[in-house]
Every structure is written in structure tokens, then in C-alpha cells.
């Protein structure tokens, strides 16, 4: 079993995660008493009907999805931060390791994009200033040359 908060492996009987201290949900316990089909057999009037009663097994009826925490989710979150954020929000309860990787990738992607945006903004201002200075001094030289003609 894995912790729903930090994603680390814990014992099946642990009520709290030994790594982060988060409370864990208790696994559903099987009810004690008579077998599931006993009441059905007593109430049945026809013996040729289907004697089996299908029961909902709840959580664990299907094998749990693999929560490997692959670095690929982090890379996806880095290049597409909005996808990483969505995956983090969707998976944080069911796949905490994958959610953590996607969220960290998205966070790093947003930070890198912000820093690159600031650097590009500074470069654009410098280029515009150089262009304006060349344009301004060129116009001044043309105007001064026209005055003295």
C-alpha cells in the first residue's frame, strides 16, 4: 500500500504514514455473518433460477493502476505546464507519485518560462533603445544637413 499524501510505501495495517504522518483510510473490512447467497437461497421459490448473486466488491475489484512516478510525467509537465497542473490535480489522490512528478515538472516549467520572459523583455528593451538612438541621430543629421543647404 502507498501513502495517499507522499506516495511512499507503507504497511497495509498502518493508520498513519511513518514518513509524512498523514492519516490513511482504513481498508474496507468484510462483514461477518452468513454467506452472501444464504438469504437468496431461502427466498427463492424456483430452483432452476440462477443461484449466484453478484456483489459489488468496491475498491480493489480491479488491479490498481501502476504509480511508478516516471520522470516522463515531469518532462511532460515541464514542456506543457497546464497539462502538468491538470494531471497533478487529477492524480493527487490515486497516483501520488505520478502527480508529484507532473506537478514539479509544471512548476519548474512555469519558473523557467517566467525567467526567460524577463530576459527576453530586457533584450527587447535594449534593442529598441539602440534602434531608437540610431533612428533619432539619423533624423537629426538629416535635418541639420537640410538646414545648412
Contact indicator for 91, 73 with CB cutoff of 8 Å:
no
User: pLDDT tens digit string along 77-101?
Assistant: 999 999 999 999 999 999 999 999 9
Chain length of the chain? 149
Query: Distance (Å, rounded) from C-alpha 132 to C-alpha 15?
Result: 68
Contact indicator for 74, 102 with CB cutoff of 8 Å:
yes
pLDDT tens string, the chain, 149 residues long: the values are 788 788 888 888 888 888 888 888 765 565 565 555 555 555 555 555 555 555 555 555 555 568 888 899 999 999 999 999 999 999 999 999 999 999 999 999 999 999 999 999 999 999 999 888 888 888 888 888 887 76
pTM of the predicted protein model: 0.50
Contact indicator for 84, 76 with CB cutoff of 8 Å:
yes
Amino acid at each position: 500500500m502507498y501513502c495517499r499524501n507522499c506516495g511512499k510505501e507503507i504497511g497495509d495495517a498502518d493508520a498513519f504514514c511513518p514518513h509524512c504522518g498523514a492519516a490513511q483510510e482504513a481498508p474496507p473490512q468484510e462483514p461477518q455473518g452468513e454467506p452472501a447467497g444464504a438469504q437468496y437461497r431461502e427466498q427463492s421459490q424456483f430452483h432452476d433460477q440462477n443461484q449466484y448473486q453478484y456483489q459489488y466488491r468496491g475498491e480493489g475489484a480491479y488491479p490498481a493502476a501502476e504509480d511508478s512516478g516516471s520522470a516522463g510525467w515531469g518532462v511532460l509537465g515541464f514542456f506543457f505546464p497546464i497539462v502538468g497542473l491538470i494531471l497533478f490535480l487529477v492524480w493527487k489522490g490515486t497516483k501520488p507519485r505520478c502527480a508529484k512528478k507532473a506537478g514539479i515538472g509544471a512548476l519548474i516549467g512555469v519558473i523557467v518560462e517566467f525567467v526567460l520572459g524577463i530576459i527576453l523583455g530586457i533584450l527587447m528593451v535594449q534593442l529598441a533603445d539602440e534602434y531608437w538612438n540610431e533612428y533619432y541621430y539619423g533624423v537629426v543629421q538629416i535635418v541639420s544637413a537640410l538646414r545648412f543647404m
